[in-house]
Structure 1
Amino acid sequence: MRENYSPIARIRVAAVSLAVLCAAGGVLTGCGDAGATITRLTVGSPGPEPYTLMSGTDATKVTARPRAGGTRDGDTPGLYGGTRRAASCDQRRLIAFLQANPAKAKAWAGVQGIPVSDIARYVSRLTPVLLRTDTLVTNHGWRDGAATSGPAVLQAGMGVLINGYGVPTVKCNCGNPLTQPEKKIKAGGASYRGRSWPGFQKGKVTKIRPRDSREGTIETFVLVDPGATMGFERPRATAGALDGPPTELPPEETAESPSDSPAPIDSGSSSPGTDVPSDEPSPSPSPSATEPTETGVPTDEPSPGASDDPNHGGTAPAASEPTSDPGSPGPISMAPTEESGASPDW
């Protein structure tokens, strides 16, 4: 005999079925972040799975951004910080390191969706900044000769490189490539591992979405200094030498008192060894790698095969193997020592 279900009964059956499927696997789109575990990564630490090691990239004392948490557009004024006329990331060294390590270069380029041969040009078109909020990303690491990936929260004060749509793409203190977090992962409902820090709250973790691609890439970023005493403009793909003069703080900033990002503390919830920095020695550029030369501000003209996807992820073109002579890594605009006053101590 054929059974006839009322519309209400059908809705109830569908709801129960969806709940069972979500509880069983948590893998369906729309099921949220069931079972998600996010790793906290602190300033001053490369984390457990670094591509390389770099020092002097992070700031341990930053004034908290008044509006933290939720989702922010990559072109929001004051979303990022920095030190005027000084760089927080050594792009030259990152390029030289990848050119000297073909296996890591292939994995790194695959995450960014570019061919290996385009790494130098791609990196030179990124912009160094400091995070001003604890930020949710997908962190792509390297362990035991293979690439890894997983959701992570980067502590405010960490140095990153951002692309032309305002999305973090490189973690400066270890060279790890970054992409946007999966949409199903929500910071408020996930569990966390790794060392915590004073002031960390799930509700204040920020997601950053790319600027609307229909508006084109960002020409100038409005940054705030670590103490939130002034704003200034930094043109895209420059590293401090062309920073604008001090300006008033962006409208969203308030007169809140500075909130330090102190050294992390043990939250008691981390797994043994979860956030212990690697003892891998800081690599020196290979003698076979050509030293980049200062040639001014990189152009914004896209190179063949370069990814213009604002998310900088997804399917990557077939990566070409580096040659024994990587050649010049292309133009990089780094802040001259005499202008920055105190260049990072690498």
Structure 2
Amino acid sequence: MRRIAVLVAFLLALGGCDSGRSLFEVKAVAAGVPSLAPFFAEDSGLGRDARVRSRAVPGGLQQGDTPGLYGGTKQQGICDVERLKQFLTAPRNDRKARAWAAALDLRTDEIPEYLDRLTPVLLRHDTLTLNHDYKKGKAVPFRALLQAGIAILVDQQGLPSVKCSCGNPLRPFEGDTSRISVTFGDGNEKWRGYDRAEVVVVRPAPRKLEHITLVDVQDSGRGIERPVGTTGEADGDFDATERRAVPRLAGTTFGEASQRLAEAGLAVAFGGEEPPSDRARVIASDPGAGAELRFGAYVTLSVAEESGTEGRASTPSPSASSIPPVGSRPPSSTGAPPTRTGPAPSRQPASKEPPGSVPPASSAAPRSSAPPTATGSPPRVTSSPPRATSSPPTGEPVTSSAPPPASSTPASSAPATTTPVTTAPVPTAPATTPPAASATV
């Protein structure tokens, strides 16, 4: 009996420790369902949702410039930005305007210019955001899961900013996406095709966008290039079925590689909760340079970590012909927390500053660490031999998808000269470079 009592107490103690980690309550928001506490009535004609089946992606974290992240249609007017502007600048709605602006860290006089920089799109994935109700004259935030097909406005870095049908302001989701509890109710019943492993979170693109590349939700073979700040009147079409070659990326920084892929209509798959630093050096891509993929296909990059510490293990690359189910990777939104084999990347909180305040990502090369020197106490000499150093990488692109050897360029072959002495020659340690850590991004 005593042993059983001790075991029960031990289990209760473990349960108490785990219960301290509370879940993040998330409210499901279905497409076409009116909000209970909207800033503006759903029948105001501000926007209309569409029927879109959520798509699986490799990893729950997506940058705002990911090609094909959002969708569109040939029909204009999924978001009536001008009408929203009229509502928010009307004197009778001054109280709502002040609450609306405060939710987005704006002043009321900044609202018209801010709206002019937003772009209407349709969600192609069930997306986590921080939504806001309007209650008692204030914007009340709540974590929300927006269903694919909901019309939203995105800012210049691709972040969800406004829910079109009701005008509710949106902010980036913050919290542990592996510990969320989604509640369906108030007419927002669990929709067909809902899969917790397919939920995504959008993080800002590293630079301001000029165009957003969309996929027609009614015709997946048609791509749409929409200039930022327009509502569809200046759309350009392109063939989304045309194959696109993977550019040479080895030797570039992660920030440069991401931009090149986006310009080519291809996407980056992240292996962790956050992408590597823009300064991290790319050593290989999978598929490799020259491989032809469809629009929006994902390319996995391997990088050498700046610190020279042990890196994360690589994960399988998505197929070139189809996007694999995200269930094969640790889900970032629900279920058990993702398992890492190396140090976790630093979390960068989403910026709350207005669009345009985020500086471009740095493209400076990572610092190389000094090679180790020989240990022990050598005999004294009149002049010390110079230590061998490793040459910096040549930057020659690697066309193979396989990661190159950790040491890319041997130390100089010229022998070090020393002043002759009567004692035995000093042993010289071979030049080494710290192995490049591999990370899947």
Q: Same fold (TM over 0.5)?
A: yes
Indicate conservation of the 8 Å contact 1:85/1:241, yes or no.
Answer: no
Structure 1 residue 102 displacement after superposition: 0.9
Q: Which residue of 2 aligns with 1:52?
A: 40
Structure 1 residue 184 displacement after superposition: 2.6
The match for 1:40 among 28, 33, 41 is 28
The match for 1:219 among 200, 205, 210 is 210
> 2 CA distance for matches of 1:306 and 1:64?
29
Q: Which residue of 1 aligns with 2:310?
A: none
SS at match of 1:118: helix
Q: Which residue of 2 aligns with 1:133?
A: 125
Q: Which residue of 2 aligns with 1:121?
A: 113
Indicate conservation of the 8 Å contact 1:68/1:133, yes or no.
Answer: no
Stretches of structure 2 lacking an aligned partner (at least 5 in a row): 1-12, 242-294, 299-320, 324-352, 359-441
> 2 CA distance for matches of 1:63 and 1:192?
20
SS at match of 2:232: coil
SS at match of 2:99: helix
Indicate conservation of the 8 Å contact 1:89/1:161, yes or no.
Answer: yes
Alpha-carbon spacing, 1:87–1:18, altered in 2? closer, same or farther (3 Å): farther
> 2 CA distance for matches of 1:61 and 1:85?
14
Q: Which residue of 1 aligns with 2:387?
A: none
> 1 CA distance for matches of 2:37 and 2:59?
26
> 2 CA distance for matches of 1:202 and 1:113?
31
Q: Which residue of 2 aligns with 1:232?
A: 224
> 2 CA distance for matches of 1:119 and 1:217?
19
Indicate conservation of the 8 Å contact 1:164/1:236, yes or no.
Answer: yes
> 2 CA distance for matches of 1:66 and 1:147?
32
Higher alpha-carbon Rg: 2
Structure 1 residue 183 displacement after superposition: 2.8
> 1 CA distance for matches of 2:50 and 2:229?
25
Indicate conservation of the 8 Å contact 1:108/1:177, yes or no.
Answer: yes
SS at match of 2:224: strand
Indicate conservation of the 8 Å contact 2:26/2:144, yes or no.
Answer: yes
The question of 1:23 aligning with 2:19 is answered: yes
> 2 CA distance for matches of 1:202 and 1:168?
20
Question: Any idea what the Cα deviations from partners look like across 1:230-268, whole Å, max 9, x if unmatched?
Answer: 112111111111111232242429679xxxxxxxxxxxx
> 1 CA distance for matches of 2:191 and 2:354?
37
Alpha-carbon spacing, 1:72–1:246, altered in 2? closer, same or farther (3 Å): same
Q: Which residue of 1 aligns with 2:297?
A: 252
Question: Any idea what the Cα deviations from partners look like across 1:264-318, whole Å, max 9, x if unmatched?
Answer: xxxxxxxxxxxxxxxxxxxxxxxxxxxxxxxxxxxxxxxxx955356xxxxxxxx
Q: Which residue of 1 aligns with 2:194?
A: 200
> 2 CA distance for matches of 1:68 and 1:142?
35
Indicate conservation of the 8 Å contact 2:122/2:151, yes or no.
Answer: yes
Structure 1 residue 168 displacement after superposition: 0.3
* Higher relative contact order (Cα pairs below 8 Å, separated by 6+ residues): 1
1:224-303 pair list within 5 angstroms: 224-227=215-218, 228-249=220-241, 250-252=295-297
Partner amino acid, structure 2, of 1:161:
L
> 2 CA distance for matches of 1:306 and 1:80?
21
Alpha-carbon spacing, 1:19–1:61, altered in 2? closer, same or farther (3 Å): same
Indicate conservation of the 8 Å contact 2:72/2:216, yes or no.
Answer: yes
Structure 1 residue 50 displacement after superposition: 0.6
Greater mean alpha carbon deviation, residues 166-175 or residues 36-45: 36-45
> 2 CA distance for matches of 1:56 and 1:90?
5
Structure 1 residue 66 displacement after superposition: 4.5
> 1 CA distance for matches of 2:95 and 2:197?
38
Q: Which residue of 1 aligns with 2:356?
A: 308
> 1 CA distance for matches of 2:25 and 2:45?
27
Q: Which residue of 2 aligns with 1:79?
A: 69
Indicate conservation of the 8 Å contact 2:156/2:355, yes or no.
Answer: no
Indicate conservation of the 8 Å contact 1:39/1:193, yes or no.
Answer: yes
Structure 1 residue 22 displacement after superposition: 6.5
SS at match of 2:208: coil
> 2 CA distance for matches of 1:56 and 1:123?
13
Q: Which residue of 1 aligns with 2:158?
A: 166
Alpha-carbon spacing, 1:110–1:59, altered in 2? closer, same or farther (3 Å): closer
Partner amino acid, structure 2, of 1:42:
A
Question: Any idea what the Cα deviations from partners look like across 1:148-194, whole Å, max 9, x if unmatched?
Answer: 111001110000000011000000010000001113343x6424232
Structure 1 residue 202 displacement after superposition: 1.3
Overall identity of the aligned pairs, in %: 35
The match for 1:142 among 134, 138, 163 is 134
TM-score by length of 1: 0.62
Greater mean alpha carbon deviation, residues 195-204 or residues 115-124: 195-204
Alpha-carbon spacing, 1:306–1:151, altered in 2? closer, same or farther (3 Å): closer
Indicate conservation of the 8 Å contact 1:112/1:177, yes or no.
Answer: yes
Partner amino acid, structure 2, of 1:93:
R
> 1 CA distance for matches of 2:95 and 2:138?
9
> 2 CA distance for matches of 1:130 and 1:124?
18
What is the total number of aligned residue pairs between the two structures? 235
SS at match of 1:130: strand
Greater mean alpha carbon deviation, residues 143-152 or residues 162-171: 143-152
Indicate conservation of the 8 Å contact 2:211/2:225, yes or no.
Answer: yes
Partner amino acid, structure 2, of 1:61:
R
